[in-house]
């Protein structure tokens, strides 16, 4: 949607519509009426030039690899087999996937999406009751899993084991290919699950159009970078080798897989995340790009193990999932001066993408999630009055554009409360956009601590805690208090060999914040519970605090 004439080219704000418009170049998209799947679109971009000679997939632990020709052949064979007897999968049916990040999961995703089957992947670490809830939402006709976790899937759902010879044979089946079914861009491509950090997990319905819009923008941005480098007489950048520390069942990993395919990149997968294994993989495979959550930036900035590895190939870290503070970003850049720290923001409901920094200069806007992405509009809305606010004012972020979800599967009430009739997604995040159009995430509205008449953002206190050299990790939650309503309580993981005490931590924070934001309780733990994407599971910490109340300080 083009901006109105009153559009401010600096902030993107229109006082007429009270809307922030993107400052990024528009990304052309195929006509919505044109039948097209996200898989077909990705492959059309890949095939616009000769297939890359390097692998499309690498296993970080075994170094097993899959070439582009083999990947396309396996995906095509699998797609044909899944449409044939005994599977007879057809467009619109749902496939539930419960597996770690194996190489064949990527092949499976592409095959399913290409034939219009809805992909619904879940965390293999989920409990049977959590899986029962997810299955109840997506209503699959088939499931794909591995032997170690398949028993968690309800018995009435047929399961195909990925680690069985029968599945391996499907990757090289000799069945005659038939024309792919016609798929509308408005058709559902995937049902992905929200983090559930502040409520019950919901199934987010993403369409082929949603994914195509994201893929197209990534492709345009890459083409622009290459053109700019050529115009400046610079050599073509080295081939991108991306290491996924985020699992493929998460929206970030799910989308980044299609991105890597469309851009002809190599993707290194980790079936399970280990910090040391990640460092070895970067060194061994000359990794250039790592999408990551803030806890990984903390580890890279502070861990003494980093110095034992050659990480000189690393060019870019793309950080999302939670706000990244200035102090932590500066610590990382001081240790890795040649690595561009791309900060971004997105939700499962926006295909994992909504805003990001672009280029070395913007990457220095520490604390910002960057500018609103191409083809998007944003509003900052006062949660109390519903008034749309201007630059520099804090309110709930609303988003609208082609990457926004269709809704929540099986939950009309949640859909109507999150998506309004004009297509605006209410993100639930307290944010502001400054005079230069940069987005700043303050915190989740539901996670703000209500101390007397004040609102305290946990993320702000966590950023301060992470700057304390003796702290390896930290989280802040609301703790009930008779006088104040809620007080900030910190859970802290000490750095090995340190002996921080409660008073030291409280004094450290108190010197840097207003009195109402002070940490008033501290508990020491071995680890902070987090989702696979690195989001703090505050509900678990609140339950822990209430079941083991600390002595009054």
Task: Determine the Cα angle at 329 with ends 328 and 334, to 5°.
Answer: 100
Alpha helices in 62-182 (DSSP H): 68-83, 103-114, 128-138, 165-170
- Reply yes or no on whether the pLDDT at 172 is more than 80: yes
Q: What gap in Å lies between CA 349 and CA 429, rounded to an integer? A: 13
The pair of three-digit structure tokens given for residue 443, joined into one six-digit string: 């915190």
Quickly count: other Cβ atoms within 10 Å of residue 35's Cβ: 14
Q: What gap in Å lies between CA 499 and CA 506, rounded to an integer? A: 14
- The structural domains of the chain, with segments of one domain joined by +, span 13-30+274-444, 67-207, 448-547
- Reply yes or no on whether the pLDDT at 78 is more than 70: yes
Q: What gap in Å lies between CA 420 and CA 406, rounded to an integer? A: 12
Contacts of 6 (CB under 8 A, 6+ apart): 14, 15, 16
> In terms of C-beta density within 10 A (0-12 exposed, 13-18 middle, 19 or more buried), how is residue 189 classed?
buried
User: Is omega for the bond preceding 507 within 30 degrees of 0, making it cis?
Assistant: no
Binning pLDDT at 50, 70 and 90, where does residue 335 land?
Answer: very high
For 55-75, what is each residue's pLDDT tens digit? 999 999 888 999 999 999 999
Q: What gap in Å lies between CA 394 and CA 430, rounded to an integer? A: 7
- Reply yes or no on whether the pLDDT at 472 is more than 50: yes
β-pair type (188-193, 159-161): unpaired
Question: Residue 551 has what pLDDT?
Answer: 45
> In terms of C-beta density within 10 A (0-12 exposed, 13-18 middle, 19 or more buried), how is residue 401 classed?
buried
Question: Residue 196 has what pLDDT?
Answer: 53
Contacts of 214 (CB under 8 A, 6+ apart): 255, 258, 259, 351, 352, 353, 403
DSSP 297-318: HHHHHH-GGGGGS--TT--EEE
What average pLDDT does range 271-280 have in this prediction?
A: 91
Question: Residue 452 has what pLDDT?
Answer: 79
Question: Residue 552 has what pLDDT?
Answer: 41
Q: What is the DSSP letter of 32?
A: T
Question: Residue 550 has what pLDDT?
Answer: 53
Average pLDDT taken over every residue of the chain = 91
Binning pLDDT at 50, 70 and 90, where does residue 2 land?
Answer: low
- Reply yes or no on whether the pLDDT at 369 is more than 50: yes
| Fold of the domain built from segment(s) 67-207 | Rossmann fold (3.40.50)
Question: Residue 195 has what pLDDT?
Answer: 65
Give the number of C-alpha atoms closer than 13 A to the C-alpha of residue 433, restricted to the C-beta side: 33
The pair of three-digit structure tokens given for residue 244, joined into one six-digit string: 């996924």
Domains 13-30+274-444 and 67-207 share a fold: yes
Torsion sign across C-alpha atoms 369, 375, 380, 384: negative
Give the number of C-alpha atoms closer than 13 A to the C-alpha of residue 223, restricted to the C-beta side: 14
> In terms of C-beta density within 10 A (0-12 exposed, 13-18 middle, 19 or more buried), how is residue 91 classed?
middle
Q: What gap in Å lies between CA 345 and CA 441, rounded to an integer? A: 8
- How many Å is the Cα radius of gyration of the chain? 23
Binning pLDDT at 50, 70 and 90, where does residue 14 land?
Answer: very high
Q: What gap in Å lies between CA 391 and CA 210, rounded to an integer? A: 28
CATH number of 13-30+274-444: 3.40.50.12780
8 A C-beta contact, residue 424 and residue 386: no
- Reply yes or no on whether the pLDDT at 317 is more than 90: yes
Contacts of 235 (CB under 8 A, 6+ apart): 229
Alpha helices in 143-290 (DSSP H): 165-170, 208-231, 251-263, 275-285
pTM: 0.86
In percent, the amount of the chain with pLDDT more than 90 equals 68
8 A C-beta contact, residue 181 and residue 205: no
For 378-415, what is each residue's pLDDT tens digit? 999 999 899 999 999 999 999 999 999 999 999 999 99
Q: What gap in Å lies between CA 378 and CA 398, rounded to an integer? A: 5
Between helices 103-114 and 38-46, what is the axis angle to 10°?
Answer: 110
Give 3-state DSSP helix, strand, coil % of the chain, rounded to 5.
Answer: 30, 25, 45
What average pLDDT does range 270-281 have in this prediction?
A: 91
For 406-439, what is each residue's pLDDT tens digit? 999 999 999 999 999 999 999 999 899 999 999 9
Quickly count: other Cβ atoms within 10 Å of residue 141's Cβ: 17
CATH number of 448-547: 3.30.300.30
For 445-469, what is each residue's pLDDT tens digit? 888 888 876 778 888 899 899 999 9
The pair of three-digit structure tokens given for residue 494, joined into one six-digit string: 């000490």
The pair of three-digit structure tokens given for residue 176, joined into one six-digit string: 């005659």
Bigger pLDDT: 189 or 61? 189
Question: Residue 234 has what pLDDT?
Answer: 85
The pair of three-digit structure tokens given for residue 552, joined into one six-digit string: 């009054």
Question: Residue 357 has what pLDDT?
Answer: 93
Q: What gap in Å lies between CA 25 and CA 43, rounded to an integer? A: 24
Kindly compute the dihedral angle of the four CA atoms of residues 82, 88, 47, 182, in this order, to the nearest 10 degrees.
-170
Which parts of 123-202 are beta strand (E)?
A: 142-145, 159-161, 188-193
What average pLDDT does range 13-27 have in this prediction?
A: 95
For 212-240, what is each residue's pLDDT tens digit? 999 999 999 888 888 888 888 888 777 89
Torsion sign across C-alpha atoms 348, 349, 350, 351: positive
């Amino acid at each position: 949607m083009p901006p109105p004439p009153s559009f401010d080219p600096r902030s993107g704000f229109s006082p007429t519509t009270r809307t922030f418009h993107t400052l990024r170049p528009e990304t052309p998209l195929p006509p919505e009426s044109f039948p097209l799947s996200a898989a077909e679109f990705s492959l059309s971009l890949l095939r616009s030039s000769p297939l890359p000679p390097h692998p499309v997939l690498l296993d970080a632990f075994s170094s097993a690899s899959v070439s582009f020709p083999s990947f396309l052949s396996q995906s095509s064979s699998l797609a044909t087999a899944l449409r044939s007897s005994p599977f007879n999968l057809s467009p619109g049916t749902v496939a539930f996937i419960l597996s770690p990040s194996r190489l064949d999961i990527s092949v499976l995703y592409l095959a399913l999406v290409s034939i219009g089957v809805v992909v619904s992947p879940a965390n293999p670490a989920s409990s049977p009751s959590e899986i029962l809830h997810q299955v109840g939402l997506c209503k699959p006709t088939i499931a794909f899993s591995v032997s170690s976790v398949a028993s968690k899937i309800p018995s009435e759902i047929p399961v195909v084991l990925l680690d069985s010879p029968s599945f391996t044979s499907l990757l090289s089946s000799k069945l005659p290919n038939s024309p792919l079914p016609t798929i509308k861009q408005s058709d559902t491509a995937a049902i992905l699950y929200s983090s559930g950090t502040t409520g019950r997990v919901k199934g987010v319905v993403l369409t082929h159009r949603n994914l195509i819009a994201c893929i197209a923008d990534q492709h345009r941005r890459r083409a622009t970078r290459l053109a700019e480098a050529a115009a400046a007489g610079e050599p073509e950048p080295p081939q991108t080798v991306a290491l996924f520390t985020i699992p493929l069942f998460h929206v970030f990993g799910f989308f980044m897989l299609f991105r890597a395919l469309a851009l002809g990149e190599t993707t290194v997968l980790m079936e399970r995340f280990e910090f040391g294994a990640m460092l070895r993989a970067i060194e061994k495979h000359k990794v250039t790009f790592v999408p990551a959550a803030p806890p990984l930036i903390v580890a890279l900035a502070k861990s003494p193990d980093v110095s034992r590895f050659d990480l000189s190939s690393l060019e870019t870290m793309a950080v999302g999932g939670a706000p990244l503070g200035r102090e932590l970003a500066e610590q990382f850049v001081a240790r890795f001066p040649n690595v561009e720290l791309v900060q971004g923001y997105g939700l499962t409901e926006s295909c994992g993408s909504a805003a990001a920094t672009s280029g070395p200069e913007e990457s220095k806007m520490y604390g910002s999630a960057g500018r609103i992405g191409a083809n998007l509009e944003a509003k900052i809305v006062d949660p109390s009055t519903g008034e749309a606010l201007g630059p520099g004012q804090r309110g709930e972020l609303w988003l609208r554009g082609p990457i926004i979800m269709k809704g929540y599967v099986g939950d009309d009430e949640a859909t109507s409360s999150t998506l309004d009739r004009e297509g605006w997604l209410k993100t639930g995040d307290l944010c502001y956009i400054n005079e230069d159009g940069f987005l700043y995430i303050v915190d989740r509205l539901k996670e703000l601590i209500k101390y007397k008449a004040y609102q305290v953002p946990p993320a702000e206190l966590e950023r301060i805690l992470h700057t304390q050299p003796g702290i390896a990790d930290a989280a802040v939650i609301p703790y009930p208090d008779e006088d104040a309503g809620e007080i900030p309580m910190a859970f802290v993981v000490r750095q090995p060999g340190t002996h921080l005490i409660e008073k030291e931590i409280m004094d450290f924070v108190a010197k840097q914040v207003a009195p109402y934001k002070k940490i008033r309780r501290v508990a020491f733990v071995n680890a902070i519970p987090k989702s696979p994407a690195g989001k703090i599971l505050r509900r678990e910490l609140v339950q822990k605090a209430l079941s083991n109340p600390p002595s009054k300080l």
